[in-house]
Chains A and B, each alone.
Chain A
Amino acid sequence: MNGGPFTAFLEAGVRTATPLAYAALGELVVERAGVINIGLEGAIIGGAFGALVFAGAGGVSLGFAGAALAGILVAALFALFVVTLRTDQIITGTAMSMLGLGLTGTLYRTMYGSAGASLHTPTIAPAPVPGLSAIPVIGPALFDQPVVTYALYALVPALAWWFYRSVAGLALRAVGEHPEAARGAGISPDRVQWAALLFGGAMGGIGGGTLVLAQVGTFAEGMSAGRGFIAIAIVVLGRWTPFGVAGAALLFGAASALQTLAQTTGWAMPYQLPLAFPYVLTLVLLASARARTAAPAALGQRSA
């Protein structure tokens, strides 16, 4: 690692943003299909636990697969209730968050006992991109990261293409705007919402897996630490577009990385202040009329 404290701050910002970006991009797809998954927190902590179990058995790659699988399982349960059984999205989502947090804690203690605290998983090391990582200041931040971060660089434009330039993306957005119109066009809103939720679950799971496999190197109860809810705020701040969400994730990541900067430079600044900044921005944006017009029209409503 080269460069001064500012480079370190940028690097920490991108690193912190990575799990948030995964969860938020998944939630973006879910919300464009008209569902608001408050239970995303459950998928993230599920993914973190899945990563622990599978990485212990078969290394980092299997760990990420396990993380995605665990996220999908949590999302499938949510989809079963919300899409198929038409329960209330907010209440069901809250239950999923609590279920995810409680269940992973219980399983962790049951499976690993008191030795849990010292348990370590294999981790994925940063893979500097030759040349690019030598760019001053931003090079190490953007191109001296683990592969999971690089995958996002491809995922964001791919998602944007899929939303606006593919027939399936058009169908997804139609379901989020006007499910009856979509049904009239021969699209099954239920099937679209199921698919979106499973994708969102996998992404949330990978976000949780990133925490374990790329950052902490171990699992701790409640380690998702509200990232599911932060991801939902990121979707709002990103105004329901892939690039907007990526930018908003970076902003949230940078805000929490500011505390690193404050520590290394010896600023006498309470680190909670910059942490609060993105939330304030989200609230201001939510209060503006522009956010309301950007939101999918049928968001959070049940399709009949």
Chain B
Amino acid sequence: MTDAAFALSLRGVTKQFGSTVALDGAQFDVRAGTLHALLGENGAGKTTLMRLAFGMLRPDAGTIEAGGTARHWRSSADAIAAGIGMVHQHFLLVPAMTVAENVSLGDRGLFRGFDPRVAADRVRRIGAETGLVLDPAARVADLPVGAQQRLEIIKALARDAKILILDEPTAVLSSAESQELYSWLRSFVTRGCTAVLITHKVREALAIADDVTVLRRGRAVLSGRPRELAESAVIAAMIGSAATDEVQLPAAGSTAGVSVISLQHVSMTDGRGVHRLRDVSMEVCAGEIVGIAGVEGSGQHELLRVLAGRLAPDGGGVRLPARIGFVPEDRLRDALIPTMTLVENLALKEAGSARGSVRWTSYEARALGTIRKHDVHTSGVCSLASALSGGNQQKFVLGRELEGSPDALVVENPTRGLDIRATSLVLAELRSARASGVAVAMYSSDLDEVLSIADRMIVCFDGRATDTPVEADAVARALLGLS
């Protein structure tokens, strides 16, 4: 049974990792020449399903068809040869190499020459054909995230990919960059190619996709065209009918208290002499959430670290409280040590200032208190941080940083990579911190999210920070440097 109308078709696929069933007879058909959104919560099996399609994993049961032919990939090299390309959520780029070198990776031949000029021409040609323009000689380490993603797509196109799989491509993009990506994908499928978009952003998926499939617990539970599907039905399918989380509105008219963090004419230059912050003055007051927005590389990264006391500016005045909690964007790199237990991760917070022997029993009690108070699902305080799901890791980090009621809390993209339920729990934590008088500064690359929770907005553009009304149009203009 083959169907040439499907560019990609996975039927009855099952995949187990140890005792965990990642896919349980999932069915996934992608019509040729369409943009197909694959929706689902974290752990629903989206990425596993697409790794099967890309030959990175082999199914325990079920069949894979591409271009109407049954396929038994031995490795992703087979899938690449059949015209499938995948852009991974965590980019697979060599930072020390140039754009052209990264594109040429995976060419074959022990003594086949690699000519940088030919490779550069290839990058330029793809740029001219597809509008994805990058400087071939640029080092990947110097590229902003949006450009790195463009490079991942160029890499796939250089292998003549006709089916492009993108895993959570907008997780790291600003809304403007996301729109750019979506319109590019539209033109890609208009040329007869096919794209699969793994995402958990329901609204975006329904707005841009031709077809939508919802995965839940390793099964395809809903599939159809966006205009035939109600948004609430899709959300219900994703999280199960038991709970529908509604977006909570910000507590209206919350009154801010005394100024807790204050920056006066702060400026900062990075190691390469680029101005990151220019004459930034701002305050964060007790009992308010200051939302921060900015296109990648506009200075928000540095601003948050100055607010959290992690970076000292070159010039200007900074007044910080004694106790500040900080939740960095990359929790597994900057907030937790994955191979240590929760107790150890909690103790680490004070490892720089504590003296003498470690009183583990007291840390254990505190860790237990943290996981209870913040509803962290885990088998115990002695389980490794890596054993927790992303949402529970984030709740634990938040709980740790909020322990002992700090004066201020600085959070960066706190819901990155989290599903709907975990997202709403994290946002609820931030609201309750505000209610208890903590001065909160929050950056999110998801504009709707930050607008839904912020009492005030500050927008970064080219190292400057501007007060902006809490309103989508005004923020969008400020993001582009218009005011």
Contacts and interface: CB of A to CB of B under 8 A. Distances in A.
A and B form one complex: yes
Interface of A: 162, 164-171, 173-174, 177-178, 180-188, 297
A168 B105 CA distance: 9
B352 to A, nearest CB: 24
A264 to B, nearest CB: 45
Contacts of B106: 171, 185-187
A181 to B, nearest CB: 4
12 contacts: A162-B111, A166-B114, A170-B114, A174-B97, A177-B97, A180-B92, A181-B91, A181-B93, A182-B94, A185-B92, A186-B76, A297-B95
Contacts, number: 72
Contact of A167 (B80, B93, B97, B109): B109
Contacts of B96: 177, 297
Most buried by A among B76, B109, B113, B114: B114
B166 to A, nearest CB: 14
B97 A168 contact: no
Q: Nearest 5 CB-CB pairs, A to B?
A: A185-B106, A184-B92, A186-B77, A181-B92, A185-B105
Interface in B324-342: none
A162 B109 CA distance: 11
Contact of B93 (A169, A170, A171, A178): A178
Nearest to B91: A181
Q: Is the interface of B mostly helix, strand, loop or mixed?
A: loop
Contacts of A188: 75
A150 to B, nearest CB: 22
Given A184-B76, A185-B106, A187-B106, A168 B111 contact: yes
Contact of B113 (A166, A171, A173, A187): A166
Most buried by A among B80, B94, B108, B113: B94
A207 to B, nearest CB: 23
B124 interface: no
A164 B119 CA distance: 12
Nearest to B152: A184
B114 A167 contact: yes
B304 to A, nearest CB: 26
B47 to A, nearest CB: 14
Contacts of A185: 92, 105-106, 155
Given A174-B97, A186-B76, A167 B92 contact: no
B105 A187 contact: yes
B92 A171 contact: no
A186 B94 CA distance: 14
Given A184-B88, A186-B75, A186-B77, A167 B94 contact: no
A164 B97 contact: no
Nearest to B76: A186
Contacts of A180: 92
Given A181-B92, A181-B93, A174 B114 contact: no
Nearest to A195: B110
B9 interface: no
B120 to A, nearest CB: 14
A168 to B, nearest CB: 5
A181 B106 CA distance: 10
B444 interface: no
B94 A181 contact: yes
B482 to A, nearest CB: 38
A245 B88 CA distance: 37
A178 B109 contact: no
A183 to B, nearest CB: 8
A186 B80 contact: yes
B33 to A, nearest CB: 26
B359 interface: no
A187 to B, nearest CB: 6
Contacts of B108: 167
A165 B114 contact: yes
A129 B101 CA distance: 40
A187 B155 CA distance: 14
B467 interface: no
A185 to B, nearest CB: 3
A23 to B, nearest CB: 23
B228 interface: no
Given A167-B109, A187-B105, 16 more contacts: A162-B111, A166-B113, A167-B107, A170-B104, A171-B105, A173-B97, A178-B93, A178-B94, A180-B92, A181-B102, A182-B94, A185-B155, A186-B75, A186-B80, A188-B75, A297-B95
Given A185-B155, A297-B96, A168 B88 contact: no
B48 to A, nearest CB: 16
Interface string B72-103: 00011100100000101001111111000110
B115 interface: yes
B227 interface: no
A183 B86 CA distance: 12
B154 to A, nearest CB: 13
Contacts of A174: 94, 97, 105
A62 to B, nearest CB: 27
B150 to A, nearest CB: 16
A170 B95 CA distance: 13
Contacts of B272: none
Contact of B92 (A170, A173, A178, A297): A178
Nearest to A178: B94
B355 interface: no
Nearest to A168: B110
Contacts of A178: 92-95
Interface in B277-311: none
A168 B112 contact: yes
A166 B112 contact: yes
Contacts of A171: 105-106
A167 B155 contact: no
B101 A170 contact: yes
Contacts of B95: 177-178, 297
B106 to A, nearest CB: 3
A97 B278 CA distance: 56
Interface in B53-80: 75-77, 80
Contacts of B94: 173-174, 177-178, 181-182
Contacts of B75: 186, 188
Nearest to A297: B96
Contact of B104 (A167, A183, A186): A167
Contacts of B110: 166, 168
Nearest to B79: A186
A166 B111 contact: yes
A193 B110 CA distance: 14
Nearest to A295: B96
A186 B75 CA distance: 8
A170 B101 CA distance: 7
Contacts of A184: 76, 86, 88, 92
B112 A167 contact: yes
